A and B are shown apart, each in its own frame.
Chain A
Amino acid sequence: MDAAAAQLAGRAATAVGRGAIRIEDVVKIYDPEGAAVMAVDHCTLDINAGEICMIVGPSGCGKTTLLNAVEGFHEITSGRILLDGEVLCSTENPKAAPGSDRIVVFQNGALFPWKSNLENIAFGPVMQGKLSRAEANEKALNMMADAGLSGVEHNYPGEVSSGMRRRVEIVRALMNDPKVLLLDEPYRALDSLTKSVMHEALLEIYYKNRVTIFFITHDLEEAIFLGHKVAIMTTRPCRPKKILDVDIPHPRDYSVLTSRRFRELMEETNEAVHEEALKAFAAGEKEG
């Protein structure tokens, strides 16, 4: 365990880092003059810079709405969201501007099928004019090698496995040196064997890049394994029901899953999650 990793053990650096998110009393109501569905109910959440924050909740509870609000795909009805002290959106200015300081990895994957993996990864810097195509390609090749993706540069996304596609998408995001990585149930469709490999791969990437990670999942095990902080949300409208600080030291590997501390943390939180899951089931929620 080298010095940098040791520094990361337990808590991530706060305050002075980049990518600290503050969600302040945010409310989101869909169709205010019609059906008036409240998706987010006075939600307040603090995410420290460089921290992995897992958002756990049942389907349809509004977690994705929060993510969309942070990124700027949706407006908020009231409240504020701040990134490193700067206001992204507020009641007066309800829609944030999507930008490459916060990049989303989508649930069903959004790699452009008509571009090769390499072209996908190089997309961001090239579009923004930050790098020439040749420079971008070189950087992309290096990052791909780092992430263990050599050999599929010139394939199309449709030709490789879904696990690989996810990793390409994460590398595509990281190419732009974002402050925050927003992941919306990215491993939902993978089988649990692939998932565990993906988890370790994500942590590996994280240890090299220290971005803030905002990760939505419905899988409590995944949340405790990956996160520094786990926020358990209520069913719709969503609000943090319980916030757990995971004090298992980083770097972690799959042996953590059977450690005693892990099981203790699961016990603490399982009931809360299960309660919300039952409520969501009874309400007949459709997955977002």
Chain B
Amino acid sequence: MIRWTKGLVLGLAGLALIVLVGVVAPFVWDEAATRLTGAAREGMSAAHPLGTDALGRDVLARTLVATRLTLVLTALATLIAAVLGIGLGTAVWVSGARVREVGLRLIDVMVSYPAVILALVVAAILGAGGPAAVVAIGVAWSPAFARLTANLAASVAGRDHVATARLLGVPPSRILTRHLLPNIAEPLLVLISVCFAGTLTALSGLSFIGLGVQPPAYDWGSLLDTGLEALYTNPGEALGPAIAITLTGVLAGFVGDGLAESADPRRAGPLRRTGKAVSRAAAPAPEVPQDALLVAEDLRVSRPDGVELVAGVSFTVRRGEIVGIVGESGSGKSLTAMAVARLLPDQVRAEAAVLRLDDLDLLGPAPDRRLALEIGVVYQDPAASFNPGLRMGGQITEVLRRHRGTGRAEARRRAVEALESVGVTRPEARLRQYPHELSGGLRQRAMIASAVLPGPRLLVADEPTTALDVTVQAEVLALVKEINERDGTAVLFISHDIGVIATLCHRVLVMYAGRVVEELTVADLREGRARHPYTRALLAATPRLTGPAGEPPATIPGRPPAPAERPSGCAFAARCAEALPHCAAEPAPPVPSPGGWAACHALATKVSEGAS
């Protein structure tokens, strides 16, 4: 599927126009281009818009007439490059493993040499002249095609359906025509347009230095060459072909960019606005406890199109407390955590009535130093969250060094201590290593060490166990608990795993579709006193070793609504077994309990019935 971007249309239209000139010009202007007038090397005038050359011929006419030869030679060179390169690439790919290895190396080497040098070799063998230049440029560009073909073929061949075809004994030639060529057509098309621009400049370049088209024939390159000699008397003589070459190159570039863009799935169009007003949900304004460290009130995170991903969340974290936020992916739990840490992606915006860490207002321009020292962050993917190009030591000690002004040796000593305390073996050696030299578990420990090294008051842990295997998970959880107990560090712990939350946290927030639907103590959670239907469904969906044998964990039917399609009422209503008719339409009232609250119509009804 080709998307018709502005650039692509402009490029194709412009090239079509130039091709038209190439077809028509020799018929119309040939006479003007070859007629010798007495006026040699005249400047630009009305009669000769680009002046005349040394023999008094009209430069504009010559530039226009040269279009055909230039285009034909460029197209031929591109054709040679494509046919030769694709042939070479497929030959390498179809042949045996050993030949393939050598062939790929060879193609790599050829690609890494300037095409001009290769073209010079061919031009030297065949002698100067138009056809020789075409062959030279064609040959010189072929390695690029060969490499692309071989690389694409390798990637396509690795896909499942091709592997299956091979296992089924489909002959390579058939795999080539049925599976490979159609799959690599689009990138090849991009390369062809890039190559067209490249061969145009290279061919014109060869003509320009006198190795290409020889007189009396002329193309843009040779016109530019003669124009260079006349630069002092008539700049128009060089300007004409210069503009022609550049313009055609730019247009071919537009086509290449346009094709590449439409082939790139990452750029599949902007987010669409499906404007639907989300009514401001009635989250209970909690009474802020005396020992609150982190206070968030009516925190909202929204996309540029106004759709709210987090739609009014309020909570507190007390000193020394571990608060867990649990929810499915897309529930807004990570965005909530990142909003607290002020590390949201550029595309989204956060606002809140109150967002503060003790006396530090997180909504205003908070000083970097306090943010860095008081909030430690542990990220989901330890493999991706360390900079691959820097040694561990530099990254772990960075905050201490910059914001505490700790000396290098002292920072390293403390980093070693911190690593030791999280159970990293050989800590001195680790500091000198690069992230890719450590295992996933080690990296996550190192990240925790790095986060707690400056002595933060709040540790934000965004799914820190998700990317780890189960035994390492347990160790990391124990570690977080230990840090909390030893240093009194408050923790905001994000997880999609309600089991993990239940082992670690003191208090739990359950998030669904951008809102908190229930807040409860971990004792209530563990002992089955969860009251919101969603929380109970989550618990039922958790596999347990202690449950009855042979019974699969329950699943929750359906999926959470997309952010733009959330109803004004309870977003879980569509999946809820206990849903009442008005659930989706009206915001659910928070129903308080001794340790928290749950926002649910069904629950409210039940409670009021029980009371009456």
A, B: real partners: no
Which A residues lie at the B interface, using CB under 8 A? Answer: none
